[in-house]
């Protein structure tokens, strides 16, 4: 491992999103808080998902995780497609980076952006309603795993896409629907049997359900199952991403 190279590319990617923090960090935080204000106002007192937990408090971990994973995906996918379209990808391919070094740098920067957004959402939402934290280690573990998985998926999308609208389509028709149907606003136990089983096949559900367990100590599925699904997804996507980077899939001819 050339850690200097990895750190340099990581610094470049972090600087890229940090320079426009109002767009990359503040805007997602404000969007999440708008969801919280609207849904919390409409459904507070009418819905109780977990015994003794206010609906607004239940909503915060879901919105927080949604913001984290969507921004982790956006960071890697937008970085790669911009480099390919502008032709600057050649400056990444020419230095002696290994595939693993590139992967760790891109994903590491995306994870940091996702976590920055998540911290912002939590700090501002905490002034709106107090949310208990049952197990901080579970919260941190799922935040990192979720952003890692989505950053890896964003890397795949960025390598596959040839135009900006393909990235937008990938996000609009895959990432956003799977996120909204993963139990952000509701418990899947409230669904009819058919849709309950369908929801259990959604990998995004396990991100949010395990993350929510860290706050309330309650979840729709076993925390160990959620952890196993997330760890398996992270391992599989790591192998796929590193293999694609090593082969230069749609990068060397950009």
Q: What is the pLDDT of residue 76?
A: 96
Length of the chain in terms of residues written? 254
Does pLDDT of 254 surpass 60? no
The answer to whether 51 touches 57, Cβ cutoff 8 Å, is no
Question: Among 10, 26, 4, 187, which Cα is nearest to 116's?
Answer: 26
Q: Residue 247: how many CB atoms within 10 A of its CB?
A: 12
Q: 207 falls in which pLDDT band (50, 70, 90)? A: very high
pLDDT digit string, tens, across residues 188-201: 888 888 888 888 99
Rounded mean pLDDT of 116-125? 92
Give me the percent of the chain exceeding a pLDDT of 70: 96
* Torsion angle of C-alpha atoms 239, 166, 145, 18, degrees rounded to 10: 120
Please indicate whether residue 125 or residue 227 has the higher confidence score (pLDDT).
227
pLDDT at 110: 97
Q: What is the chain's mean pLDDT, rounded?
A: 90
- What value does the mean pLDDT take over residues 29-42? 85
pLDDT at 253: 66
61 pLDDT above the threshold of 60: yes
What's residue 183's pLDDT?
Answer: 86
pLDDT class of 47 with cuts at 50, 70, 90: low
- Structure-token match 């969007």, residue found: 31
Is the pLDDT confidence value at 48 over 70?
Answer: no
Cα 67 to the center of its chain, rounded Å: 7
Reported pTM = 0.92
Phi-psi region of 223 (alpha: psi -120 to 50; beta: other; left: phi over 0): alpha
Task: Place 51 in a pLDDT band, splitting at 50, 70 and 90.
Answer: confident
Closest to 147 in 3D by CA, of 229, 220, 230: 230
Identify which of 34-43, 81-90, 205-214 has the greatest average pLDDT: 205-214
Look at 249 and 73; give whichever has higher pLDDT. Answer: 73
Q: What is the pLDDT of residues 75-105, one digit of tens each?
A: 999 999 999 988 888 888 888 889 999 999 9
- Residue 200 neighbours by CB under 8 Å, 6+ apart: 188, 221
Task: Give the range among 128-137, 151-160, 221-230 with minimum mean pLDDT.
Answer: 128-137
Do residues 78 and 155 lie in contact, with contact meaning Cβ atoms separated by under 8 Å?
Answer: no
């Amino acid at each position: 491992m050339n850690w200097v190279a990895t750190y340099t590319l990581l610094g470049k990617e972090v600087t890229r999103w940090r320079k426009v923090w109002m767009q990359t960090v503040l805007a997602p935080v404000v969007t999440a808080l708008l969801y919280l204000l609207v849904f919390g106002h409409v459904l507070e007192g009418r819905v109780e998902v977990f015994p003794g937990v206010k609906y607004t408090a239940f909503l915060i971990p879901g919105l927080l995780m949604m913001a984290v994973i969507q921004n982790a995906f956006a960071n890697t996918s937008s970085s790669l497609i911009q480099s390919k379209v502008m032709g600057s990808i050649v400056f990444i391919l020419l230095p002696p980076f290994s595939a693993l070094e590139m992967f760790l740098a891109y994903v590491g920067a995306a994870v940091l952006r996702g976590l920055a957004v998540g911290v912002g959402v939590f700090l501002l939402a905490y002034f709106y309603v107090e949310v208990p934290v049952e197990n901080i280690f579970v919260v941190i573990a799922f935040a990192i795993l979720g952003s890692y998985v989505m950053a890896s998926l964003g890397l795949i999308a960025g390598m596959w896409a040839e135009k900006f609208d393909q990235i937008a389509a990938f996000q609009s028709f895959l990432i956003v629907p799977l996120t909204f149907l993963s139990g952000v606003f509701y418990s899947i136990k409230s669904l009819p049997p058919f849709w309950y089983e369908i929801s259990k096949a959604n990998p995004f559900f396990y991100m949010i359900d395990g993350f929510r367990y860290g706050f309330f100590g309650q979840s729709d599925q076993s925390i160990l199952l959620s952890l196993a699904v997330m760890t398996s997804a992270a391992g599989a996507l790591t192998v796929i991403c590193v293999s694609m980077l090593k082969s230069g899939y749609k990068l060397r001819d950009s």
